[in-house]
Amino acid sequence: MNRELAVAFPHVYCELDFTNPLELAVATILSAQSTDKRINLTTPALFARYRTAADYAGANRTELEELIRPTGFYRNKADSLIRLGQALVDRFDGQVPASMDELVSLPGIGRKTANVILGNAFDIPGITVDTHFGRLVRRWGWTEETDPVKVEFAVGKLIERREWTLLSHRVIFHGRRVCHARKPACGVCVLAKDCPSYGTGPTEPQVAAQLVKGPETEHLLALAGISERR
């Protein structure tokens, strides 16, 4: 199934915009209960104002809250960012560390955020269990676990370590574009023949085609033998 996903999504990537590990850490913290699109609209002004861990450590709370207000839960997130900046300055010379144990010791960073940072900022393989990832691997029968950490370890036993980051992106892309929570596009899914949950959504190709989202839509429909949506 991972190979089929690689064909469906040959160019996967972190959909949060960033240029360095600190920006990715901040963007990932902000992404909780929000969307990547919303975060990417918010972070340009934020990153222009706060460039270093010391900037976050010394941030004016009211100003920071106002900048991140569109992401939701902005007071809690502002607190996490200020405390993150302080911890990085106090313990890591202002730099984002590149190990799981050190990352999860920081305010606002759990295993999911740490794996995002490791995989995308440091090229260290990690499995990112967000809501899409957990939902899909359970639909596929890869695990029955619901706890994200248990899901991470269960899937890690099935897939080669070097594939972990790419697998995470592929599964998340598939969940956002094809295998939706309420009505998956089963009729045009590249995994249809292997999926034990096939039929959860529409199986008629033209009906399912209407459900596909994202810039890869034309490619995904072509793989399903559909030249255009009617």
* Crossing angle for the helix pair 61-68 and 74-92, to the nearest 10 degrees: 120
Catalytic residue among 17, 36, 55, 130: 130
Catalytic residue among 112, 123, 150, 194: 112
Residue 8 to residue 155: CA distance in whole angstroms:
20
Question: 130 an active-site residue?
Answer: yes
Residue 53's alpha-carbon distances to 22, 76, 95, 205, in angstroms, are 7, 18, 7, 50
Sequence-ordered strand ranges (E) for the chain: none
Question: 112 an active-site residue?
Answer: yes
> What is the number of H-type helices and E-type strands within the chain?
13, 0
Residue 176 to residue 150: CA distance in whole angstroms:
22
Give catalytic residue positions.
112, 130
